[in-house]
Structure 1
Amino acid sequence: MLKNKKKFKSISMLLSAFIIAAPMVPTIASAKGISGTPVKSISISSVQKFAPSDNAIKFTQKMFDSGLIKEFSVDTKGNLVLNNTYDNLKSKYNLDSSSIQILKSMIANGQKGKVSTSTIFDTSAISVSNGNVKFTNSDVNAFLFAAAEIGPSAVFAALDAMATVTGGPVATIVVSVLAVIGLPSLKSLTYSIIQAEANNQGVYIGVSWNGVFPNIVSGTW
């Protein structure tokens, strides 16, 4: 009972913060491309489930338990960055060389504009234009809501860590979404995570192309 009270107190506080900042948070429904054409909605049946590997779960949990997750931020260009040097992080959080390499890969993956509009992501021949990925309510409970409580940059880092360590075609779509995502979209995704936690739902993310312009789509399921 106490755990539930704390959970819904956190949700209420986060919802209050989003209501206050509402004018700054664009909704997917109101998102428009350069021509003024509404962004296409997606069919939930086309959304693929993302299943983080055991190693991804362990690494992501370590980021939260140690406080490393708070070392991430998003710069003015929408890139994921670290607020400390790798040497300092290694010493501060007792990281091994493998963990440092994962962090470097995460930062490389989190560079905005890295994905070409013509890129096709192999193995299952799924392009980022129709590739959308869903996270279960278990994922929301385990990682994403905790990240949402910290802020959008922590959500970015949590998704990036799970995709980087897991790998595979579905993880590639997650990384691709992160490569085109901007701060307003991160705020919208964070809001979806808060709703998912309150309603015992999962969340989905993806990219919808309006010509050559990418738009992030996200929501609950």
Structure 2
Amino acid sequence: MGVDCARAWVASVEHRQRDVASPLVRCVDAGLADGSAFFATYAAWTAVRLGVVGRLPGAVRDLPSRVEGVLVGAWADGVVAGLDGDAAGLDAVGEQFVELGASIDAVEAFAAASRLWSTDGRARAATASIRRARESLGDSDVRTPGLVLSDDAVPLTDREREVADLAADGLAAREIAERLFISRRTVTNHLQHVYDKLGVSGRSELRTALGRG
């Protein structure tokens, strides 16, 4: 089972996405057949982390009732949320991981939630999930295939991105206006649009949303 999980990780790192799901499904099937709920849950959670949860057998829905331990239970809850396309559920699981000190699992849960929110057209929710992911990651330089935190989760226009970047750098509205040769009112309007899209209320939150804080 461990070999199959390793193969899935290697395939993901090498960007062979079509080769990721099959070894994980084999690992899940083997764990379920052998009565090893722990390994089945680990493999299924890995499928969520690597974006191939849709290939898992329906039996993984029973994992929350078959596992013991808080961390493994959170993995199992994350599997069900991922299988259901439940972004809010993945955000909730991410918070469980935060409380457990499982920061990498937390970041990956929030990142998966953000992708689902974005797919549903929920830009502000997607940004909120990315913000929680970045907060959970902190200063860590750990990177895995599941730690893809897209700056494009929320579509900003080119001008909105320019204004947002300058505001995050600490420039006042007047300075931004002078830099971009636009009026101060236009800067203010663009910033308000950015705040609305990103679900933030001020510059400090803007810095975090843009990965600066």
Q: Which has the higher strand share?
A: 1
Q: Which has the higher helix share?
A: 2
Q: Report which of the two structures shows the higher radius of gyration computed on alpha carbons.
A: 2
Between 1 and 2, higher relative CO (CA 8 Å, sep ≥ 6) is seen in: 1
TM-score, length of structure 1 as denominator length: 0.26
